[in-house]
Structure formats: structure tokens, C-alpha cells
Chain A
Amino acid sequence: MASSLTFEGVTKRYDSTEALAGIDLTVEPGSFVALVGASGSGKSTLLKTINRLTEPSEGRVLLDGEDVSASDPTAMRRSTGYVFQRIGLFPHMTVGENIAIGPRLVGTRLGNERIGELLELVDLDPGMIDRLPDALSGGQQQRVGVARALAGQPSLLLMDEPFGALDPVTRDALGTRVRDLHERLDLTTIMVTHDMAEALILADRVLVMDKGRIVADETPQALASGKGGDVAQELVAVPRHQAEMLKGLEA
């Protein structure tokens, strides 16, 4: 069952700067939301208030109606998938041990069969189970990262620039795969990205952030047809321009 999320006046201040300026937002169960914006717009900070890697200065975040600040952060994180740009595979553990780490923390042993299934979910060969992360390419490592995030059968998947460090081909393939898994596993997915094209293609709701505020909240179709205001359209202009250039080359 996919999770629902509600943000109520979520504010985060660092000394004098305001990273989040009172965010109010509801995310329906089963939606795939992209948070888009320039560096420093507050999109990563907002994502991290959900699994409490960042604590808001004011306001609260409700996960399935429960205030996350009242939950045990470690327990809550174990049932939430988290994928991020630096990947963070444990270098001293095999691929299999990395994937099984979440369940292991709560005393559940993940069998090799289940680990093999998870590897197949992210298009990896189950024979990789005993490899160390060093022996994998960047794309393979992030696929393992996604498998690790899914091992605890989460209903919420949080992704912070998940494909930022990957080559474009891998990036496209893994993005499509994650979108596919989002449907199959009945997830609510929040993805932070600075790439509007990626957001438009993968998400069914795009939030554009600027200076700690949400300045646009549209479907990809609405953004493509020119809605969402100046900041959003500036970002949409980039892939549109690229697409036009490409078309010009074809002609």
C-alpha cells in the first residue's frame, strides 16, 4: 500500500538563511513526484525532512497521517527506501550483504533467492551477489543502491539526485526501470533532480522549487504546454531548446 505525505508549514533555517520557507504540500498515495530546482533551491532539504536526515525548524511532516518527528527515526528509515547521488554502498560488504543490510538491522535474514530477485528487478545478474562494490561500474553500483532501497519492501521511495553521477545511457535505462518498479511495487516516489527533462519524462507531478518555496506544481503535460510561471518555464526551455536543435539536425 503506497504512502501518503503531508507537509504543514515546513521551515528550515540555517543561521540567517532560510532553506525552506514554510512548505505546505500533500502527496497522494501512489504518485511519482519530481522536485526540480537549481542548486540551493531547497529541494534536497525538503526530501530529507521526510526521513529525518534533516529536522525542520518549524512545521511538521505527516507520513500516512503520523507526525514523523514522533517516530523512531531508525525504524522509520528502515521501512523507507532511500537512494542518493553518492550511492554509498558499504565497500567492505558484498553486493548481497549490501542489499540485505536493512532487513538485517531488524534481525531478518534475506535469503540468496530473494537477493537474486531484487538484483533481477534492477536488471543485474544474480551471479553478482558475492562481488564487492569496487568491482562494479557506477551504473551497476547505483542499481545495487536501488535494490538495497527496495529490500525492506517500502511503500515510500525517496531519491536524491539518484542518477546524477551516471552516464546518459545508464541514466535513461535506470530511470525507466525505476518508473516501472514504482508501478509494479505500488510505491509513492519522491525524486529530487535538477534535470527538468528527467522530471518531465518520469514523474506524474512536477514541483519546481526556488529559494525555499514551491513556485510551480504542475503535471508534465501542463509544464510542456507553457504553464507554471517563469522559473518553471526557464527550466523547461532547456530540454525544449535541445529537442528543437536535434530536430533541426535531422531535417
Chain B
Amino acid sequence: MSGVWAALMGLGDVLAQHVILAACAIGLGIAVALPLAVWASRSQAVARGALGFASLVQTIPALALLALFFPILLSLRAVFGEGLPTLGFLPALLALALYALLPILRNAVTAQTNLDPGVLEAADGVGMNFWQRLRLVEAPLAAPYIMAGIRTAAVWTIGAATLSTTIGQPSLGDPIFAGLQTQNWSLVLAGCIASAGLAIVADALLGTIEAGFRRRDRRLWLGGAIAVAVGVAAAFASQADWSRDDGRDTIVIGTKQFSEQLILGRLVGEQLEDAGYNVEYREGLGSAVVAQAVANGSIDLYFDYTGTIWANQMKRTDNPGRDAMYDAIVKWERDVQGTRVVGKLGFENAYALAMREDRAQQLGIRTIEDLARAAPRLVAGGDPEWFERPEWFAVRDAYGLDFANERNFSPTFMYNALTSGDADVISAYTSDGRIAADNLVILDDPREALPSYDTLIIVSPERADDERLMAALEPLLGNINVDAMRQANFSVDRTDGDKKTPREAARWLAEEVGLD
């Protein structure tokens, strides 16, 4: 429990960011929903259309809605220019505001249709104009119902805002996702407690305002409103940059959703800070998002793997060999994406098929060819991307793999599934520390169906000619060996006593490979 407590204490910053994001999203939701509700009360068609749209939005999973705003904003750059952010606060705000729309709109429309017709006739009869009727009669009578809608929206939004971590907006999802990736359950629990606690507090305060409206008790609703305002203002105040601009250049490092990327992010981040840069992190981005994000300058730097770029982005299915592939990728990144491949870090994180050593021996499997014969009786596990990836199609087609069942696991649970027997073979990563720790064997690939996966540093077009940055990154190139990386990864992924955070592992790694 002390671990959870310590983790909670470290959440001040993401809590403030979470509050700001949720408050802005709900505010925007209210600003859109209320005028729409007024319009809807004057037009059946608008009411049907608006409620239909809001309900449709609600059927989209929150995670997908957040992700969808990346391509939407990217295409809107044609209108608003290249400065339009496609990751981080803006898409998170828009997606969450859309999500908040339905409960507010529905309650506001319902409240209006349920207003006593006699009261509305009286409002007209005494000679109220449109605005007088809205302000003096409709708004005060609908207020408690609208407030109930805002309350529902607030609870949803605070929960869904944890997912904005995946599009690079810091939130209480940061500890949850980071903890999930690194099996740090204290961190996951702390994130959940903070997020649920925030939702409960917001619900109670907004409930107070609602009760104040319902009982026409000015002190009650004003008190609730002031408490909400103070909370949001405190969050803003804590995030305001009180320090003067120090003139240091800021590098934004993006990483994907697994330990190795988090460690590399911190490793490079600390190197750059030593070199005089400010560093920001966008951690836990999706594979496709992160590659596009660097191409359009939403982030400055990220790490990718030659085989991933080759198959996913260049859509190549052939395998020309390690060096030819690297050269082709450098050229493609420069000519097509405008990005620059700074160089190789020195280790491979290849996809490979792994089994438990005892199970492989028992079945007599040493190569993927052996595996293909036994496959119809075996269950294959993969990370959520694996069975959609070209690498899987390549290895499947090369060996004619046909498993009894294919199951998806998050990377962490994938290894657990192998240990527990829920999967017989998994798509492992060669730099993964758990290969040695769990006594796994990597199956040989005699037909070379799986491409090489040299780890690269790639920088955005704006940074491509930044020689000071290149110089700061130079000491890392070719310097990280796979054994050191495996150990660093394992120190973060392990679940027993001596578990490290990605930052601690990065420091250990820096020392291990002789960086200062």
C-alpha cells in the first residue's frame, strides 16, 4: 500500500492536467449543447438531428474517437495551416467535448419538452419576447435537469480523459498506462484511485449545484459553483508557467506503448537535457500515430524499427537483407516523409516466435518449420497489433502457419499467457528481458520470413538539419547492445522486488553503456 501512496503523491501534475482537460471539455460541451438545445426546442428537425448525432457519437468507443481526431486534424491543416496541433490537448479536448455533448443536450431538450405548457402560454400571454422567456422562465425551470446532465457528462469525461494519454495528452491515464506496460500495479491503482476520486468529488460538487437549483437555494448552488471554480482555477494556476522563458529549445520525444520505448525516451531525454534542451514526453502513442506525428512535426523525435517501417509504412513484403533495407529506409524517410534517420542505436528488437523451453522440447520444435507441423493443435498469442501486421502475414504465408486459435494480449499479459499455458507460442520481441527470465526459446527462421528490426532514432523535418541536436545524439548511436537493453527492459517489466521505473532503468542503461 505504501507503493500506492507514494505513487499517488507523485500524481499532482497529471491530476492538474486532467482537471484542466476535463473542465475545458465539459465547458466546450456546455457551450455547444445549450444553444443547440434552445434551437432544438424551436424545431423538431433540429432536435432529432442533434440528438441523433450526439447518440451516434456516443456509440463510438472513446479510445477510437480520440484516435480519429488525429487524421481529422491532420486534414484540417489544409485549412488552418501547419501550426494546428494534431496530438495532445486539442484532439483530446474536441473528442471529450463531443462525448460530453449527449448527456447535456439530452437533458436540456427533455427539460424543455417537459416544461408545463400552461407556464409557456403564460410567458407569451404576459408579453415576454424570446430572450425574456428564455432567461426568466425556461432557463430557471430547466436548470436542475441541465445540471443533472452536466453531472453525468462530468463523470463520463473524467473517466474517458484517462484515454487521452494514448494521443499524447498527459492525464491520469499516464500512470495507468505506464503501470500496465511495466506491470507496476501500484501505479495503475494510484491512477485509478485518483481518477475515480476526482469523478466522485466533481459529481458531489455538481450535485450540490443541482440541488441548489432544484430547491431554488442560492447559497447552495453558488457555494457549489465557487468550489468547482476554485478547483479548476487551482489546476490552471499549478500549470501556469511562472518561470520566465529560459530561451532553451524544447524537444518533444514521442514513444510507443512498451517499456523499451519508455526507457529509450528517458535515456535520450536526459542526454538532451544535459546538452541544454528542454524535453517533453508524449508517451504511450500508437505505432501508426507516432510515425505520422514525427512526419508532421507534432513530435520532434521517436524510435522505430527497420522492419516495422519497411512493412507498415513502405508496404514492402520482400526482404532484401539488413543493410540494403536500412539504406532504403533512410532514403525513403528523407524523400517521402521529409524526416531524418539519425542512425541505429545498435540493437535489434525483432519480432520472433517464442515458446516455453520445456514445451518446445516436449513437442520437438526448434524452428518455425517444426512449428507449422504442430500448429493446428496449438494456440498462438500476439500483441494487439500482431495478427494484423504484415510480418505475421509474411511468416504465416512463408511457413503455412495455421493455428487452432489466435488470441490477442497486451504485451505484458502475452508473456503471462505463455507461462500459464493460455498460449503455446507468442510473438515475442528479441530485446525483451523476459525471454531469458521466463526460459523461453526463440524459434529459428530458416526461410528468413521475418525482417530485421534495427532500432533507429528518427527526427522530424524541422529538426533534420539541427546539427546541435545531431551532435547531442551522436554518442548514443551504435552504443546500445542487446544484452544491456534486455536487462534494462527486464528491470522495468519484472514483477518481483527490484522493479525499476523507466527513468531509473534509463539511468542504469546510460551507465552500463558508458554514457555520462
Contacts and interface: CB of A to CB of B under 8 A. Distances in A.
Interface of A: 51, 53, 73-80, 82, 84, 86-92, 101-102, 105, 148
Pick from A53, A86, A88, A102 the residue with the most CB of B within 10 Å: A88
B127 A102 contact: yes
A245 B122 CA distance: 40
B105 to A, nearest CB: 23
B121 A53 contact: yes
22 contacts: A53-B121, A53-B125, A74-B128, A75-B127, A77-B125, A77-B127, A78-B127, A80-B127, A82-B125, A84-B118, A84-B122, A86-B121, A88-B118, A88-B119, A88-B121, A88-B123, A90-B136, A91-B116, A91-B119, A101-B136, A105-B126, A105-B127
Contacts of B122: 84, 86-90
Interface in B106-129: 116-129
Contacts of A84: 118, 121-122, 125
B141 A91 contact: yes
B127 to A, nearest CB: 3
Give the top 5 A-B pairs by smallest Cβ distance, nearest first: A88-B122, A86-B118, A78-B127, A77-B127, A82-B125
A220 to B, nearest CB: 28
Contacts of B136: 90, 101
Interface of B: 116-129, 132, 136-137, 140-141, 216
A239 B267 CA distance: 99
A105 B121 contact: no
B146 to A, nearest CB: 14
Given A88-B116, A105-B132, A148 B121 contact: no
Nearest to B213: A92
Nearest to A97: B136
Contact of B141 (A75, A77, A92): A92
A142 B125 CA distance: 15
Contacts, number: 62
Contacts of A78: 126-127
A86 B121 CA distance: 9
B126 A148 contact: yes
B129 A74 contact: yes
A86 B140 CA distance: 20
A82 B127 CA distance: 10
A127 B137 CA distance: 24
A79 B120 CA distance: 18
B128 to A, nearest CB: 6
Given A88-B118, A105-B132, A53 B124 contact: yes
A88 B125 contact: yes
Contacts of A53: 121, 124-125
A52 to B, nearest CB: 9
A105 B131 CA distance: 11
Nearest to A151: B126
Nearest to B141: A92
Contact of A102 (B126, B137, B141, B216): B126
Contacts of A82: 125-126
Nearest to A78: B127
B221 to A, nearest CB: 13
Contacts of A90: 119, 122-123, 136-137
Nearest to B118: A86
Contacts of A87: 118, 122
A250 B141 CA distance: 52
A82 B128 CA distance: 13
Pick from A51, A75, A105 the residue with the most CB of B within 10 Å: A105
Contacts of B125: 51, 53, 77, 82, 84, 88
B215 to A, nearest CB: 11
Nearest to B126: A102
A74 B136 CA distance: 15
Given A82-B125, A88-B118, A92-B140, 4 more contacts: A73-B127, A84-B125, A88-B123, A101-B136
Nearest to B125: A82
A76 B118 CA distance: 20
A28 B321 CA distance: 105
A51 B122 CA distance: 12
Contacts of B140: 92
A101 B128 CA distance: 9
A84 B121 CA distance: 9
Given A88-B121, A90-B119, A76 B141 contact: no
